[in-house]
Every structure is written in structure tokens, then in C-alpha cells.
């Protein structure tokens, strides 16, 4: 049975509005409006040309960001007065440590779009402008060895001014076009997992040492492929639909099943070790950005699970005569993406 509403899925494009104007928009899903989230949350950031996400930091979560479109300058001030600035484009990612000051500035002519994941279901933000508003003119004057009166003209508030317009052209240092440890071009890598019907590019600590407690799969599957049923023993999974459409099924403890459809802009969340699968529905292909709460996600798939046991054990497990069991292929390493040689289940076709 296909679930019309599932606790596992929500719309990010229709999520809570943090800020929205002619400069861009910020929408988010946290545990406050998507209660199943645990250890992860997500934002969608749109920055129009000439605008920026002002300098800020996150108090309780590392950040992992995927650039969907556009060109932006990212700056990061880490502890120890270590500063970096670098340019990101579509298919690039960047990682920001919790507490590190950073900004994102559109330096292109098109809207820049980002999907941002945090290692907390309720991330806490502080803006540099708001932090200035917390201090008096005298305190700021003492900090910078200036008269207190020099700060009287600065507009001050303890409310974060997240999106702001830039005055004039961007200032991009030549060094910003070099590679940087904060940045990883996930779509430029040779996919570690590939088949005739799909691929998975992986941003994980094996390839990107900056990662501490987050990782990401850029998963593409054609309509004649399917993500093998599986589970992740030590990591939760949160996916964003960047392109296409799909159907998912998850098994909850106690045997309850949820099956739902996903379209562009939707987000789903699978708790640790819940079995689930993904298949393309009503689209030629799909592209998911899948985030995990570990630097190296690991999974156990149905293919290898069957190969681990004798047919006698399987016969007893499935309460089926041994001669009636399928001729399961031996699999010592799960393929992750499999061919869909059978059509979508008849009872689900066309249902929404």
C-alpha cells in the first residue's frame, strides 16, 4: 500500500521560510517541522546576483554544502586565525567546522542555489552583524582601539541579517581559484560506484579529509535501474531530490511499511538500520543528494545478506520449502545499483 503521507518525507522547497526577499531565500527543515529528523537537518539557500549570505557561524553543528547551480565566493575564518577563500560552482561542495565564521557571495550572473546539511536536527546560528549588535559602542571602541563615537553610525541589531546586497562588483582574490581543503568537487570525480544504469559519486573522508561527522552520495539512477534494498548499520540517511522522481519504501520496527513518492525539492529521512530501497518513478532518471551522519557511510544490502547463509537456513527463515527458493546469485560485494528487469509493481503504478 502506498502511503499518502509519511513521517519520513517532507518538502524542502515548501519548508519553513527563514528569510525571503528579492535578494534570495532561505528555507529549512529541522526537527521542529520535520520531527523524525535526528542528528541531521537541511536548508535550501538561493542567492540572487549581487547578493550574499552574510558572515555567520553555527554553534552546535558542522556544515556540509552542495552547490546545485551558480558561482559563488566562500570565505572561512577558522580557529588559529586561519583564513581561506575559494570559488565554488555547480557540482562543488564545501565543509565548514562548527563555530567557524563564513560567508557565501554570489559572484556570477545567475542565481546560486545550495543544499546545506547540518550535523544537528536543530542547528544554532549566530550572525556577525547580530554579534556586533550585542556589544556597546564603548566595548567595540576598546576592541578596535577606536573612539566609541566611530561606531554610532553602524546600524546595529541582535537579529541576524542573513541576506544582504553587495555594493558594486565582487572582490575575488586570484588565490580563490586554487583548490582548498574546505572544498571538494564531487561531480568531477570518477564515480567509485558505476553501472550501466546509474552511478554514485561519494564525498566521504576517504577522499576528503576535512570531513568529521558528515558525508554525501551524489546518486544518479536511470528508469531501468534501482537502488538495491539495504540498511545502514551505524548511520542515518537524509536525501534531497535534485532531479527526477522516485518511489521509496522503508520498513519501521514492528513490521509497519511506508511507501511514498518523491519529487524535486522533497527530503526524506531514514533512521539508522531501517531497511529501505529507491526506484525511479515516472521520470527518465533521478539525481539524489544523500547525506549521512558519519564520515564514511556503510551499508548492508539484500544481495550479500542472502549469500551469507545456506539454503537450509534460508528455507527455515522464509518458511518455504528449499526447492521453492529462487536460484539466488552468490554476491560477495553488494552492487548498490541494480538493473530493474521487472516493471513497477502493478498495484502502485499511477498512485500518488
Q: Walk me through the domains of the chain, giving residue ranges and CATH numbers.
A: 9-184 (2.60.120.10), 188-339 (2.60.120.10)
CB 38 within 8 A of CB 120: no
Q: Which three cell numbers stand for residue 273?
A: 538500520
User: Residue 228 pLDDT more than 70?
Assistant: yes
- Tell me the HSE value of 321 on the side-chain side, using a 13 A CA sphere: 2
d(CA 249, CA 275): 8
CB 312 within 8 A of CB 321: no
pLDDT of residue 5: 74
User: Residue 108 pLDDT more than 80?
Assistant: yes
User: Residue 198 pLDDT more than 60?
Assistant: yes
Summarize the confidence of residues 215-230 as an average pLDDT.
96
Q: Which three cell numbers stand for residue 238?
A: 537524509
Q: Which three cell numbers stand for residue 145?
A: 582601539
Summarize the confidence of residues 300-321 as an average pLDDT.
97
pLDDT of residue 3: 45
CA-closest candidate to residue 240, choices 99, 97, 45: 45
- pLDDT tens across 123-157, in order? 999 999 999 999 999 999 999 999 999 999 998 89
User: Residue 349 pLDDT more than 50?
Assistant: no
CA-closest candidate to residue 39, choices 238, 259, 278, 251: 238
Summarize the confidence of residues 317-335 as an average pLDDT.
96
Helix (H) or strand (E) holding 139: helix 137-144
User: Residue 350 pLDDT more than 80?
Assistant: no
Residues near 38 by Cβ (< 8 Å), separated by ≥ 6? 31, 121, 236, 269, 271
Summarize the confidence of residues 284-300 as an average pLDDT.
97
Summarize the confidence of residues 56-81 as an average pLDDT.
98
Mean pLDDT of the chain: 95
DSSP codes of every residue in 206-264: TT-TT-SS-EEEEEEEETTEEEEEEE-TT--EEEEEEES-EEEEEEPTTS-EEEEEE-T
- pLDDT confidence tier of residue 220, bands split at 50, 70 and 90: very high
Amino acid at each position: 500500500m502506498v502511503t499518502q503521507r509519511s513521517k519520513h518525507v517532507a518538502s524542502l522547497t515548501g519548508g519553513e521560510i527563514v528569510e525571503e526577499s528579492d535578494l534570495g531565500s532561505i528555507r529549512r527543515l529541522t526537527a521542529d517541522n520535520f520531527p523524525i529528523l535526528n542528528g541531521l537537518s537541511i536548508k535550501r539557500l538561493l542567492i540572487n546576483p549581487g547578493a550574499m549570505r552574510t558572515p555567520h557561524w553555527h554553534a552546535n553543528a558542522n556544515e556540509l554544502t552542495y552547490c546545485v547551480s551558480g558561482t559563488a565566493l566562500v570565505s572561512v575564518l577558522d580557529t588559529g586565525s586561519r583564513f581561506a577563500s575559494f570559488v565554488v560552482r555547480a557540482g562543488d561542495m564545501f565543509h565548514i567546522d562548527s563555530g567557524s565564521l563564513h560567508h557565501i557571495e554570489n559572484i556570477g550572473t545567475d542565481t546560486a542555489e545550495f543544499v546545506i546539511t547540518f550535523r544537528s536536527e536543530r542547528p544554532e546560528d549566530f550572525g556577525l552583524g547580530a554579534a556586533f549588535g550585542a556589544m556597546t559602542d564603548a566595548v567595540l571602541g576598546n576592541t578596535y582601539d577606536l573612539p566609541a563615537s566611530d561606531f554610532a553610525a553602524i546600524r546595529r541589531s541582535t537579529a541576524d541579517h542573513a541576506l544582504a546586497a553587495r555594493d558594486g562588483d565582487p572582490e575575488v582574490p586570484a588565490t580563490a581559484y586554487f583548490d582548498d581543503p574546505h572544498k571538494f568537487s564531487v561531480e568531477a570525480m570518477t564515480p567509485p560506484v558505476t553501472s550501466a544504469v546509474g552511478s554514485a559519486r561519494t564525498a566521504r573522508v576517504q577522499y576528503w579529509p576535512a570531513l568529521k561527522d558528515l558525508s554525501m552520495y551524489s546518486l544518479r539512477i536511470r528508469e531501468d535501474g534501482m537502488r538495491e534494498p539495504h540498511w545502514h548499520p551505524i548511520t542515518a540517511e537524509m536525501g534531497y531530490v535534485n532531479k527526477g522522481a522516485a518511489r521509496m519504501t522503508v520498513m519501521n520496527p514492528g513490521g509497519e511499511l511506508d511507501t511514498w513518492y518523491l519529487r524535486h525539492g522533497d527530503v526524506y529521512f531514514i533512521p539508522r538500520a531501517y531497511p529501505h530501497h529507491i526506484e525511479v518513478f515516472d521520470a527518465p532518471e533521478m539525481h539524489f543528494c544523500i547525506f549521512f551522519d558519519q564520515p564514511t557511510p556503510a551499508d548492508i544490502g539484500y544481495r550479500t545478506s542472502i549469500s551469507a547463509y545456506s539454503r537450509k537456513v534460508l528455507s527455515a527463515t522464509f518458511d518455504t520449502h528449499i526447492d521453492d527458493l529462487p536460484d539466488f546469485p552468490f554476491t560477495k560485494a553488494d552492487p548498490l545499483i541494480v538493473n530493474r528487469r521487472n516493471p513497477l509493481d502493478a498495484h502502485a503504478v499511477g498512485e500518488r
